[in-house]
Chain A
Amino acid sequence: MLLIRCPYCEEERPELEFRNAGEAHIARSANMAGESDDDFEKFFFIRSNPKGIIYERWRHMHGCARFFNAVRDTVTDKFVMTYKAGEPKPSKLPGVAK
Chain B
Amino acid sequence: MRSTLGQPMPTNSQLDPHWKGILECAAIEVFAMMANSEITPMPEQPEQQQGEQTAMVGLAGALCGMITIRCSKESAVKLATRMLGEDAKSNPSMVGDALGELCNMVAGNFKSKITSLADHCMLSVPTVIWGEDYVMQMVKPNSGFQFALDCEGRPVWFSLVIHD
A and B form one complex: no
- Which of A's residues lie within 8 Å of B, judged by CB? none
- Which of B's residues lie within 8 Å of A, judged by CB? none
